[in-house]
């Protein structure tokens, strides 16, 4: 909400940083919650359900923010959407009070914290970091750069962007459920976790580069179609990679490993956002940007497969599961 008080790039960056600090705990927390409360063959679907909330918010945001900004100014968009977040906090606190059993977790799992230094030597930790570092910039590009792309390359106004920018996020929502359901069905039919995860990662990496075609499309229909298909396959990949921490590690370590992967994701976005801006300044064209991003998923898949080995649960020295 304080972003509405920004007067320039420095204050804007400061308020955005506060938002990032607040947001950073949510994703590792839900990953750990899934690892504790959800049966193994339902984990990917549960992660998809959690992810779908983010996609749903991103889908609602473009038309909602445009509507608010037109009536209350751009500052009003931050005050109102931030206020909605406070309402969610109240709803969450009410829900937790109604379900005190959620605080108990899994009594079979040691509550002792896992030191970071114990997690860093494992290649399984760095697989999550590397896969997210290389592939997540695609998502950040579609979130942050598509409005500018539609304005520069397709000549859309803010209102027109609000009318179409929600479509890829609807597809993302569908992909979260589809990917989770597919993983659940494959494991229910006897597929191992190892085979299921690698198959979905390969499928995502093979389909995501179709987004390159969006920059060469001649109509808005095909532009949004190719972007939506790319997001669908990226989400299959991302959902699977985000499940890996709970596949590899016991519940007390899941949030930490997920957080390390999140660090890889944001570091990758820092590099990619700078490179996208620099490329546009030099070439004044989105074609090299889309082509470069289209290569990221196959590179991430090749790098991940080269070091990930078999997907199976590790036993950490500091954690013990009671019989």
Asked if residue 316 belongs to a domain, the reply is no
Asked if residue 124 belongs to a domain, the reply is yes
240 DSSP β-pair partners: none
Asked if residue 313 belongs to a domain, the reply is no
Between the alpha carbon of residue 286 and those of residues 41, 49, 137, 221, 249, the distances in Å are 41, 33, 15, 18, 40
Closest CA to 180 of 254, 247, 258, 243: 243
| pLDDT of amino acid 243 | 92
User: Whole-angstrom Cα distance, residue 156 to residue 147?
Assistant: 9
- What value does the mean pLDDT of the chain take? 87
Domain extent for 230: 6-308
Asked if residue 225 belongs to a domain, the reply is yes
We report the CATH number of the domain holding residue 78 as 1.20.1250.20
321 DSSP β-pair partners: 109
- Note the pLDDT tens digit of each residue in 271-305: 999 999 999 999 999 999 999 999 999 999 999 99
pLDDT at residue 320 above 60?
no
Exposure string over 214-227, b if 16+ CB within 10 A, otherwise e:
bbebeeeeebbbbb
| pLDDT of amino acid 230 | 95
Percentage of residues in the chain having pLDDT higher than 90: 47
Residues 8, 17: contact at Cβ < 8 Å?
A: no
| pLDDT of amino acid 199 | 95
At 203, is the pLDDT very low, low, confident or very high (cuts 50, 70, 90)?
very high
Asked if residue 315 belongs to a domain, the reply is no
Report, as an integer, the average pLDDT of 27-41: 83
206 compared with 309, residue with greater pLDDT: 206
Asked if residue 285 belongs to a domain, the reply is yes
Domain count, the chain: 1
Spell out the residues 6+ positions from residue 237 whose beta carbon is closer than 8 angstroms to its own: 135, 200, 201, 203, 204, 205, 208, 297, 300, 301
Closest CA to 316 of 33, 120, 126: 120
Closest CA to 193 of 133, 255, 247: 247
Asked if residue 250 belongs to a domain, the reply is yes
CB atoms within 10 A of CB 157: 11
Report, as an integer, the average pLDDT of 197-221: 94
Asked if residue 164 belongs to a domain, the reply is yes
């Amino acid at each position: 909400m304080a972003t509405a008080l920004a007067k320039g790039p420095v204050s804007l960056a400061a308020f955005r940083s506060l938002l990032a600090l607040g947001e950073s705990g949510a994703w590792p927390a839900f990953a750990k919650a899934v690892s504790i409360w959800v049966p193994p063959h339902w984990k990917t679907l549960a992660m998809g359900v959690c992810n779908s909330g983010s996609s749903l918010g991103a889908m609602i945001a473009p038309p909602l923010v445009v509507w608010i900004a037109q009536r209350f100014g751009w500052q009003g968009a931050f005050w109102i959407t931030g206020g909605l977040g406070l309402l969610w906090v109240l709803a969450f606190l009410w829900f937790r009070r109604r379900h005190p059993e959620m605080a108990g977790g899994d009594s079979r799992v040691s509550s002792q914290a896992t030191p970071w230094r114990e997690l860093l030597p494992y290649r399984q930790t760095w697989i999550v970091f590397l896969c997210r570092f290389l592939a997540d910039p695609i998502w950040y590009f579609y979130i942050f750069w598509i409005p500018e792309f539609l304005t520069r390359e397709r000549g859309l106004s803010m209102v027109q962007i609000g009318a179409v920018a929600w479509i890829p996020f609807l597809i993302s929502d569908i992909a979260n459920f589809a990917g989770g359901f597919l993983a659940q069905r494959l494991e229910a039919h006897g597929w191992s976790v190892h085979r299921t995860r690698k198959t979905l990662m390969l499928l995502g990496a093979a389909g995501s580069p179709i987004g390159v075609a969006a920059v060469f499309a001649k109509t808005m229909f095909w532009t949004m179609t190719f972007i939506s298909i790319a997001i669908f396959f990226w989400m299959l990949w991302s959902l699977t990679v985000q499940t890996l921490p709970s596949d590899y590690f016991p519940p007390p370590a899941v949030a930490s490993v997920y957080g390390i992967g999140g660090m890889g994701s944001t570091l990758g976005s820092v590099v990619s956002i700078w490179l996208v801006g620099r490329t546009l300044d030099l070439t004044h064209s989105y074609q090299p940007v889309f082509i470069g991003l289209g290569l990221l998923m196959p590179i991430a898949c090749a790098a991940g497969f080269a070091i990930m080995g078999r997907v199976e649960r590790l036993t950490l020295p500091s954690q013990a599961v009671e019989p």
